[in-house]
Structure 1
Amino acid sequence: MAEAGAATEKPSKWRALGLALRNRKTAFMAVFGFASGLPFALFLGTLYAWLTEAEVDLETMGVFSLIGLAYAFQFLWSPLVDRVDIPALRKLGKRKQWIAPMQLLLGVILVTMSLLDPGTQLGWFSLLAGIGAFASATQDIVINAWRIDVADEEATIDILSTVTQMGFRLAALVGGALGLIIAERIGWPQTYVVMGVIMLAIGIAGLFAPDADVDRAAAMSEHAERTAELYEAGELEPRIRNRALLAVGLLWGWAIVIMVIFMIRALGGFIPLMTTFSISVFGSSWVIDPNFLLGMFALNEEGRPDVTEFTTVMGPLVIMATIVVPAAIAAWLVRLKRDGRHVIREDRVADRHDGLILDQLYRALLLPLVEFVGRMGWSIVLVLALVLTYRITDAIWGTFAYPFYLGELEYTLDEVAVASKFFGVGAIILGLALGGWMITAIGRMFTLTLGAFLAAVTNLLYADLARGGGTMQVVSNAIGFTWAVNQFPGGSDRLARLMIVIGGENLAIGIAGAAYIAWLSSIVAKGYSAVQYALLASLTLLVGTLGRGALGEMIEERGYYDVFIFTMLIGFVAVVLCILEWIREHRAGARSGVVAPDAG
């Protein structure tokens, strides 16, 4: 009987896959995935090839990469894009009213950047790139929410997640390979004009996408009902909610301020140091240093803050302020409500003294976190640890890929375009397709764990390349890959080993990416999809972004080989966490009486 059941299950999965791929939502998901990936590739990838040619040093590039914090902190304004309507654009749809303006803004920014010289106008260049990263991160918030909102039994969340990544990686081909090839022939300014026009065209095409929308009157009614629910018996008292909201708001605000100050100072902007002062409390004197509180350490000999010092000292504090403490506050609120302490005893109607604006902020900003923590319980620790570490192996060093290929190994732009973009993106798309099939046929958690393992061990391929690539050359020769590459114009032995290294890593990244996006999408609540997914997606980039400045110094001091060994070891942490999450999900399914088929 079991064998018969398995026999009928396989065709249904293939049929389900075929139906999903023919769905209109799936097609537009590919377009939106592409729209999400193109700015990311241009601001945090291809741009560094331009900076390398402009002779910007590695440490400055590491600091410049902090524009990626827009992606890491996107959860801070995700409630805004989730709740606020843009005047005159609401008729486009709940999600598209934000997607279209961001894509148009990105197109304008890319064209404007083409008018600047990064070698002599790095400040303005950084500002535009920062605004572009902000617009790109905002677009990502809405696209991710759109994907979760429109998912149904035919266009499933797993398929839409895989298609998203395929579109994202295809954008890397256009923004990377095509960008490098165009730049080699007509220059970087013209390249960014072309990319800007592509982004504008995408914005227009996206206007015809379906939207997970509701009637405006119904939405307003639901909005009022949810606010009224805060004043039902058993809900937390307004003063308790407001205190928690104030604490989280101050923590997140502090984190943003110190990161902005650091970027300004690191890129040559002047912010004067403040004077220390002392206060007396119960007879004890305390010296307060505002400079430390704002992360303004002394400048080094080059007139910039020490990146390693800032990362090692302030990095953990930023993570504490943005993740650990807010999660603890949310857990405290969950505990108070569960124990019936500081709760409303009888249903009542909110009045003007209750602070209705604060209620809206609480519902938009803190309630999604409270819901997530309340639903996950202590498992939140494991989930957040996995989110923080899963993609760090490829995220943390990606900024330095072009300096590694072009500077350290001295490949040409054309060679990098062929290996990293055409061949590499093809390998990622193959990995995504394989990952999508594995999720459907074998299980999400198995694929997630395997992806983490492969992403970690493929760092050894780069470590070998940093030492000359002898082992990879032997492998390439043995399987006939070197011979095949040499049959094409421009082919060489060294290009073959670069292609096989990049192809191996990107295949692993594709498998891992398909499983990871599907897993993230599966653990958020649909009613809070924009904020919860933005929070988790942001945390995915946070550690890698904070660590890039220090990694740039590590490369300068110890070389690329040690960096690849280091990132491999970090990757194995994610493997262990995947196994623990797999066990947790299996046990949770067993306790509920249903073991999910996608749990692996």
Structure 2
Amino acid sequence: MSSVYASRRVFPLLILGFASGLPLALTSGTLQAWATVDNVSLQSIGFLTLIGTAYTLKFLWAPLVDRYAPPLLGRRRGWMFLTQLLLAAGIAAMGLFSPAGNLGMLAALAVLVAFLSATQDIAFDAYSTDVLRSEERAAGAAVKVLGYRLAMIVSGGLALVLADQWLGWHNMYFLMGAFMAVCAVATVLAPEPEVVAAAPRSLAVAVVEPLREFFSRRGAVTILLLIVLYKLGDAFAGALSTTFLIRGAGFSVSEVGSINKVFGLAATIVGALAGGALMARLGLYRSLMLFGLLQAVSNFGYWVLAVTPPHLYFMAVVVAVENLCGGLGTAAFVALLMGLCRQEFSATQFALLSALSAVGRTYLAGPFTPPLVESLGWPPFFVLTVLIALPGLILLRLRRNEIHALDARAEAA
């Protein structure tokens, strides 16, 4: 398995996954922390989660990425490189404003960054789906998740420490913009897929054919519902997790950032690498079920933090377990999305599927978490998040034959 991770097609996904994950926390959790310490209202913080709407709507412009290509680096890498350069500028520009004085302007820039990030994701997800051989898919999904979650630690935990103790919020955003610019180099050096599928003949074909092909499959609608529900409990638990740890559990910004940076990083590395190895042995369906159960149960850790006095070491354990289980679940989920795509339409199909996976986080968890917390309190809310995870696991059980068929198709290839 170690040789698979060293493959010239798999290893670059670590840095490219980092580029994919870097903007999300900067427009969500980190921005949430900045707004929290600037004394922005809880309701306003909750509505900041709507910034992520671009991630749920990206399938609308994904056919453009399938149909057209920038003049350099091909159909997939060309779009990645272009959006990474624009993201570097957009993230740095966020550092020019502050939530207390310019919340509207900062939110508008965050929306632009989210749009560019979603476009980068369209191209990157298509690229990783196209470039990996079938036997590399589990390892590739794990490495993508590792890079993505490392970026979440850097733009989440490390960013909080840098902003609180060293650079301030403005300079921290400038630094994160510089990180994104460096990631663009990896796009230039990454290999092209061994088989390059022809672009759709017209924009109309690029729009219609991916949908027609997907919905012609047996159980297509319930598979889409599974994608919405699989990580819904995780989305609710994480929607205001930074605000909970600071305002609800009583930890400082630096404590939250340090624990995320150290223990979150270690758990992310272990979770991603273990996820790739376990998926190769268990297969896709059993991995999805086991990892889904683990990520649901891990939410109980937040409940314990909510009912006990602040204890730094226990918070470290909760963060580590959440990162470990969340990383495992995400690795299996990404492998599922890859298996559902056809190479000719991988940008549009992956964008549709991943956009659906963001529906719960953006339209359900973001707006509904603040009123749930205010009416129930933090401890009952975190118990509720475990129950919210169960429908996705039940639907996964009902659709096990379709998931097993994806494994069989990959082995045949």
Q: Same fold (TM over 0.5)?
A: yes
Q: Which letter maps to 2:144?
A: T
Name the counterpart of 1:512: 329
Question: 1:235-274 alignment to 2 at 5 Å?
Answer: none
| Separation in structure 2 between the aligned mates of residue 110 and residue 595 of structure 1, nearest angstrom | 42
Q: 1:127 aligns with which of 102, 108, 111?
A: 108
Q: Which residue of 1 aligns with 2:148?
A: 168
Contact kept? 1:54, 1:119, Cα under 8 Å = yes
Taking a change above 3 Å as real, the CA distance of residues 466 and 152 of structure 1, as seen in their structure-2 partners, is same
Once the two structures are superposed, the pairs formed by residues 333-412 of structure 1 within 5 Å of their partners are 360-374=202-216, 376-377=217-218, 379-412=219-252
Match of 2:378 among 527, 535, 560: 560
The separation in 1 between residues aligned to 2:408 and 2:34, in whole angstroms, is: 50
Question: Contact 1:445–1:598 at 8 Å: present in 2 too?
Answer: no
Q: Deviations over 1:2-57 (max 9, x none)?
A: xxxxxxxxxxxxxxx23322212222111110000111121122111111111111
CA contact (8 A) 1:74 1:534 kept: yes
Q: Please identify which structure carries the higher helix content.
A: 2
3-state SS in 2 of match to 1:55: coil
State the distance in 2 between where 1:56 and 1:569 align.
Answer: 30
The residue identity in structure 2 corresponding to 1:527 is E
**Residue 152 to residue 411, structure 1, CA distance change in 2 (3 Å):** same
Q: Aligned match of 1:551 in 369, 374, 381?
A: 369
Other structure's SS at 1:95 match = helix
Letter of the 1:124 partner, please give it.
M
Counterpart-to-counterpart distance in 1, 2:368 and 2:273: 35
Match of 2:160 in 1: 180
1:206 aligns with 2:187: yes
User: What whole-Å deviation, never above 9, does each CA across 1:351-397 have from its counterpart, x for those lacking one?
Assistant: xxxxxxxxx343112221110011x22x1132112101111122234
CA distance in 2, matches of 1:554, 1:164: 33
Are residue 136 (structure 1) and residue 120 (structure 2) matched? no
The structure that has the greater radius of gyration is 1
CA distance in structure 1 between the aligned counterparts of 2:152 and 2:118, rounded to whole angstroms: 16
* SS of match in other structure, 2:69: coil
SS at match of 2:192: coil
Give the whole-Å Cα distance in 1 for the aligned partners of 2:400 and 2:200. Answer: 36
1:67 to 20, 41, 51: 51
Displacement of 1:598 in angstroms is: 7.5
What pairs with 1:521-540 in structure 2 (closer than 5 Å)? 521-540=338-357
Q: How does 1:85-164 map to 2 (within 5 A)?
A: 85-86=69-70, 90-152=71-133, 156-164=136-144
| Letter of the structure 2 residue corresponding to residue 517 of structure 1 | V
* Equivalence for 1:267: none
CA distance in 2, matches of 1:595, 1:205: 33
Query: Deviations for 1:308-328, whole angstroms, at most 9, x for unmatched residues?
Result: xxxxxxxxxxxxxxxxxxxxx
TM-score, L = length of structure 1 = 0.65
CA distance in 1, matches of 2:235, 2:339: 22
Residue 596 of structure 1 deviates from its aligned partner by 6.3
Q: What SS class does the counterpart of residue 66 from structure 1 fall into? A: helix
Q: TM-score, normalised by structure 2?
A: 0.94
Aligned length: 410
Task: Map 1:294-305 to 2 at 5 A.
Answer: none
Q: Tell me if the contact between 1:452 and 1:572 (Cα under 8 Å) persists in the aligned partners.
A: no
5+ residue gaps, structure 1, are: 1-16, 225-359, 470-492
**DSSP-derived class of the 2:311 partner:** helix
Q: Deviation at 1:597?
A: 8.6
Letter in structure 1 aligned against 2:370: G
- Counterpart residue number, 1:55: 39
Inter-partner Cα distance in structure 1 for 2:252 and 2:403: 47
Deviation at 1:223, TM superposition (A): 4.5
* CA distance in 2: counterparts of 1:381 and 1:392, whole angstroms: 17
Alpha-carbon offset, residue 418 of structure 1 = 2.5
Give, as a single letter, the amino acid of the residue that structure 2 aligns with 1:181: V
Question: Any conservation in 1 of the 2:299–2:322 contact (CA below 8 Å)?
Answer: yes
Cα deviation, 1:448-487, whole Å, max 9, x if unaligned, reads 1011111112222211211126xxxxxxxxxxxxxxxxxx
**1:25 and 2:6 aligned:** no
Offset of residue 214 of structure 1:
7.8
The structure with higher relative contact order (CA 8 Å, sep 6+) is 2
Alignment correspondent of 1:344: none
Q: 1:584 to 1:197 in 2, by over 3 A?
A: closer
Q: Is the 8 A contact 1:74 1:538 kept in 2?
A: yes
Please say which of residues 533-542 and 107-116 is displaced more in the overlay. 107-116
The answer to whether the Cα contact below 8 Å between 1:443 and 1:597 also exists between their aligned partners in 2 is no
Residue number in structure 2 paired with 1:572? 390
Q: Could you tell me how far 1:80 is from its partner in structure 2?
A: 0.8
Cα distance in 2 for partners of 1:402, 1:372 equals: 37
Task: Tell whether the 8 Å contact from 2:131 to 2:194 is kept in structure 1 after alignment.
Answer: no
Indicate which of 177, 187, 192 corresponds to 1:196.
177
Secondary structure (helix, strand or coil) at the match of 2:226 reads helix
Q: Which moved more, 1:535-544 or 1:457-466?
A: 457-466
